[in-house]
């Protein structure tokens, strides 16, 4: 009898081994790996009520082409340094053909809503005249005209020139755009007094220039002394080197205060109505070392307006100025979910690529948590831990109580039906 059991065991052990291996493989496939600090958290969810915080993310490959195939589980989100346990996802198509593209998606994965279409994009082009030297104004016009040729006819586009003249308004008519472009001029050599003559007070018509209620005090960036925004000891007047295309630190501050103040006024005006916007900041350079408070205010205003800023750097012959102003342009854009777009020669290719990137976004609708409704912007972090081959652009601040477009409101029925 013992001999017979030994024979059966020898015959059966390969089968037992295969079954055991298959069981291990199955359990390994269905079990999430041990949680690591850099991995996404939790499975996709169906939210029981509308989200308070909605995060928009643009994802591209290394060549700048939009990536549309990600799932909600690919994203890792933290708010105020705290990992968020769950989110739902919507795909947002914008611009020409958006409705057809959204309608072509007939099925969704768990935790996803039906795609949303926004056929008309809202884009405000802000021309930074204080950064422009002689000859740069024509290059700035060429950039704006190239963008107008790249966008769809249904897109809402306006052009605003800084410094803002008192009573100026954001007009989306092509006649107003042509008039603004024709008046663009170089002001890099202008000091504080000349800029003040251009616009004594950067206030848009119908905009009271006061921070929105509940917005809280403007905070300087971490590690920055609040006194950094005070006037430097030297007068804000042009130095002799300005004639050669370079400017003094005092003039750089005067330019930054003027341009950032005007940009904040534009953002506050846009925040009065719902919807996400794109700001194209056409500038040869920006140096904010002595205007940190104004720079921080722009970032808060951009979060409240749900606006991303893409900086289009105008090629300029003043190499030192261009290099000095590039870093702050990049930081301003990246903080709001945009990017610096260097432009050399003909800008058409770069602008067409940018228009393509603005045609698709992911909306990450975060499961509500305590603290989401607190006033003021929340610190935001979004990553794709498992997709280092992709580039993700999201703002670093997010505010409560806003949605990306009116169409999103209709999609929120998803949360009450599931």
- For the stretch 121-138, pLDDT in tens is 999 999 999 999 999 999
3-state helix, strand, coil in the chain (%, to 5): 35, 20, 45
Q: How much is the pLDDT for 204?
A: 57
Residue 48's pLDDT is what? Answer: 64
Token couple for 345: 């020669």
> Which residues of the chain have a pLDDT value below 70?
1-49, 199-246, 345, 401-418
Measured over all CA atoms, what is the biggest interatomic distance in the chain, rounded to whole angstroms? 109
Residues 12-66 have pLDDT tens digits of 433 333 333 333 333 333 333 333 344 444 556 666 667 788 899 999 999 999 9
Spatial distance between the Cα atoms of 118 and 98, rounded to a whole number of angstroms: 6
pTM for the model stands at: 0.77
HSE-up of 224 (CA within 13 Å, CB side)? 19
Strand, coil or helix: 362: strand
Q: What pLDDT sits at residue 246?
A: 64
Helix ranges, 306-347 (H): 319-335
In 3D space, the residue among 168, 305, 177, 189 whose CA is nearest the CA of residue 241 turns out to be 189
Are 229 and 221 in contact by the 8 Å Cβ rule? The answer is no
For residues 287 and 277, give the distance between their C-alpha atoms in angstroms, rounded to a whole number: 24
Cα 293–294–298 angle (5° rounding)? Answer: 115
pLDDT of res. 43? 56
d(CA 247, CA 238): 7
Residues 285, 251 contacting (CB under 8 angstroms): no
Hey, what are 261's tokens?
């103040």
- Give the fold, CATH level 3, of 122-213+226-357: Rossmann fold (3.40.50)
What's the token pair of residue 136?
Answer: 């740069």
Using the Cα atoms of residue 348, residue 353, residue 359 and residue 364 in order, give the sign of their dihedral.
negative
- pLDDT value of residue 107: 77
- Angle formed at CA 44 by CA 38 and CA 49, multiple of 5 degrees: 120
Task: Output the pLDDT for position 11.
Answer: 42
pLDDT at 317: 86
Predicted confidence at residue 402, as pLDDT, reads: 58
Structure tokens at 81: 């340094």
């Amino acid at each position: 009898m013992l001999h017979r059991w030994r024979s059966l065991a020898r015959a059966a052990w390969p089968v037992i081994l295969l079954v055991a291996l298959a069981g291990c493989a199955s359990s390994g496939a269905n079990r999430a790996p041990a949680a690591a600090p850099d991995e996404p958290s939790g499975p996709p969810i169906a939210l029981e009520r509308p989200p308070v915080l909605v995060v928009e993310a643009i994802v591209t490959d290394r060549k700048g082409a939009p990536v549309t195939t990600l799932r909600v589980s690919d994203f890792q989100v933290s708010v105020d340094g705290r990992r968020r346990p769950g989110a739902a996802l919507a795909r947002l198509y914008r611009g020409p053909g958006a409705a057809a593209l959204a309608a072509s998606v007939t099925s969704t994965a768990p935790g996803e809503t039906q795609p949303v279409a926004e056929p008309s994009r809202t884009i405000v082009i802000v021309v930074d005249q204080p950064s422009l030297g002689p000859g740069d104004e024509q290059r700035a016009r060429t950039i704006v005209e190239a963008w107008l040729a790249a966008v769809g006819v249904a897109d809402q586009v306006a052009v605003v020139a800084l410094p803002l003249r008192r009573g100026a308004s954001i007009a989306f008519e092509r006649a107003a755009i042509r008039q603004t472009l024709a008046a663009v001029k170089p002001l890099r050599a202008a000091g504080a007094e000349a800029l003040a003559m251009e616009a004594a007070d950067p206030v848009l018509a119908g905009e009271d220039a006061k921070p929105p209620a509940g917005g809280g005090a403007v905070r300087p960036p971490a590690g920055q002394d609040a006194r950094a925004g005070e006037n430097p000891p030297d007068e804000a007047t042009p130095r002799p080197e300005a004639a050669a295309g370079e400017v003094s630190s005092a003039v750089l501050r005067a330019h930054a205060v003027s341009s950032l103040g005007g940009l904040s006024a534009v953002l506050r005006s846009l925040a009065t109505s719902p919807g996400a916007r794109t700001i194209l900041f056409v500038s040869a350079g920006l140096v904010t070392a002595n205007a940190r408070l104004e720079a921080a205010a722009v970032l808060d205003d951009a979060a409240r307006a749900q606006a991303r800023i893409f900086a289009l750097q105008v090629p300029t012959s003043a190499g030192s100025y261009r290099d000095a102003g590039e870093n702050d342009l990049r930081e301003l854009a990246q903080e709001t979910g945009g990017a610096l777009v260097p432009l050399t020669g003909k800008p058409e290719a770069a602008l067409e690529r940018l228009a393509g990137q603005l045609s698709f976004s992911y909306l990450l609708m975060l499961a509500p948590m305590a603290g989401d409704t607190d006033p003021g912007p929340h610190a935001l972090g979004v990553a794709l831990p498992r997709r280092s081959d992709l580039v993700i652009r999201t703002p670093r601040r997010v505010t409560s109580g806003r949605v990306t477009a009116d169409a999103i409101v209709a999609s929120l029925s998803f949360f009450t039906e599931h």
